[in-house]
Amino acid sequence: MQEPLNTAQMKQILEAALLTAGQPLSLDELLRPFDGRMERATLRMLLDELKADWQQRSMELVQVASGWRFQARPEFSLYLSRISPERQQRYSRAAMETLAIIAYRQPVTRGDIEEIRGVAVNPNIMRQLIERNWIDVVGQRDVPGRPSLYATTKTFLDDLNLRSLSELPAMENFSQQDILFEPPQPE
Amino acid sequence: MQTQLAIDVRIYGEQLDTIPQDLYIPPDALEVYLEAFEGPLDLLLYLIRKHNLDILDIPMAELTRQYMDYVEKMRATKLELAADYLLMSAMLIEIKSRMLLPKPADIEQEDDPRAELVRRLMEYEAIKLAAQRLDEMPQVGQEIVVAHAYFEQIAVAGPPGISFEDLVAAWQSVLQRASHFQHHRVGRAELSVREHMSLVLRRLQRDSMVEFMDLFDVVNDGLPKLVVYFLAILELAREGLIKITQQASFSPIYLQAQER
């Protein structure tokens, strides 16, 4: 082995690891190739440098919930989609509403979801979201029947290019005026 | 596309004689029209937004009647969905009836019975918008393409080596077993390490893999011969003519001819 390594070599090792991973790599995973000879602060600095190095290239280095990954710059996605037309399925409106309730109101039970949407939860939708590993059961609410509490996963954040739930688009807060509510006139 | 409605639908006194143009509805399928909505809250919200209805001014009786029409038509095919609409009808009827009841002056002003419905509609609308925004976000598997360069993981080839200590332990075990069969022998045997190297190699040619212990005939060979065998094995290993391997600690040690 040709250790110790210089900064350029360390960056290349990180680059090779990230390009071949196919999924986000956490800081711990990225430290592993260096066998305890790298500080976390150094790693962060190198990742920032690497990110800057790729600024003018076809791929970009991004940080998502599970770690760091290279992905194609968004402007190429249309062209890339023509290579493999079979894509991950888009979900129905009912599924997206269910997902939104879980994402913004988590942890929630099926009952909570039904209360907000006003319709029974379709078990297929829950299964779809669990199979995609976007939601999972994080516990049971301590009420009769002990219903499962659902929450979104790190994979959900990764797949939407987010680092944390706080990066979700802000939820609209409708005031009562938006629904043309006027206080009842005193008689 | 304007499609004539098969049934009489009235919203806020106005006859709704065409299907809204922002929905695709086959002319004869009311069920499909309803399936465009994600439930009674969604339908109610649509009616309010589309027609700028004041929720406090909704003609509850008329809306309830329409809901009941939907429920009747759905009962045959979509009983579960009908149940949800029926529940909404019940809620609307309750609101209407509470509003119709006279309020005795000495009773404290109670909450507007419509407030709960308004709260639910607002919460539902917020979630609906949030769902739309989530759906518009780029996703891995759709717009986001993750780097996945090819990297062939090359496994380190060949069986694991063996430590010096394990080989010594194995040899000592041979000696120990031999000590049980010691007897005196008269005469001098011509012993040569080289000769035994050939013997070992020949054996390895015949049986491609031989267990270390099997090479030694502790019952019949005297100690000197065993020593020569061991030296032969060490010499063969040193010259790279054989491979000595052990899969795990304390597992059998094997000898193999080194492939050229």
- A97, B128: Cβ pair inside 8 Å? yes
Residue A114 confidence (pLDDT): 92
**A168 pLDDT more than 80:** yes
Contact B48 A69 (CB under 8 A): no
State whether B124 and A118 contact (CB < 8 Å).
Answer: yes
pLDDT at residue A41 tops 70: yes
User: Which of B38, B52, B74 would best serve as a mutation to test chain A binding (most A beta carbons within 10 A)?
Assistant: B38
Mean pLDDT for chain A?
A: 87
For the purposes of burial, counting CB atoms within 10 Å of the CB of A25, is it exposed (0-12), middle (13-18) or buried (19 or more)?
Answer: buried
Question: Which chain B residues are within 8 Å of A88, Cβ to Cβ?
Answer: 139-142
Beta strands (DSSP E) in A65-161 are 67-72, 135-140, 148-152
Average pLDDT over residues A108-128: 92
How does residue A150 score in pLDDT terms, banded at 50, 70 and 90? Answer: very high
Residue among B41, B118, B137 whose CB faces A117 most closely? B41
Whether residues A116 and B131 touch (CB distance < 8 A) is answered with: no
Give me the residues paired with residue B255 across strands: B210, B244
Looking at residue B214, its pLDDT comes to 87
**Mean model confidence pLDDT for chain B:** 74
| β-strands A59-64, B253-257 pairing | unpaired
- Could you tell me the pTM of the whole model? 0.63
Place of tokens 């009952």: A111
Q: What angle do CA B138, B143, B144 make, to 5 degrees?
A: 85
Q: Do B112 and A184 touch (CB under 8 A)?
A: yes
Position A90 pLDDT exceeds 70: yes
B149 CB neighbour count, 10 Å cutoff? 13
Cα first-last separation, chain B: 81
Burial (CB count <10 Å: 0-12, 13-18, 19+), residue B63: buried
Of A65-69, A164-168, B84-88, B255-259, the poorest mean pLDDT is in B84-88
Q: What is the mean pLDDT of residues A138-167?
A: 91
Report the C-alpha gap between A12 and B257 in whole angstroms: 41
Burial of B123 (0-12, 13-18, 19+ CB in 10 A): middle
pLDDT tens-digit readout, B28-61 = 334 445 556 777 788 778 777 766 666 666 666 7
pLDDT at B38: 74
Which of A59, A102, A117 is the best residue to mutate to test the B interface, defined by the most B CB atoms within 10 Å of its own CB? A117
Report percent pLDDT > 90 for chain A.
63
Query: What pLDDT score was predicted for residue B238?
Result: 84
CB atoms A104 and B130 under 8 Å: yes
* Joined tokens for residue B117: 């419905």
Would you call B85 exposed, middle or buried from its count of C-beta atoms within 10 A (0-12, 13-18, 19+)?
Answer: buried
Least confident piece of the model among A72-76, A94-98, B147-151: B147-151
* pLDDT higher than 90, residue A50: yes
pLDDT of amino acid A163: 92
Residues of A in Cβ contact (< 8 Å) with B102: none
- All residue ranges of chain B with pLDDT < 70 are 1-36, 50-60, 70, 74-81, 103-110, 154-160, 182-191, 260
Q: φ and ψ at A25, to 5 degrees?
A: -110, 130
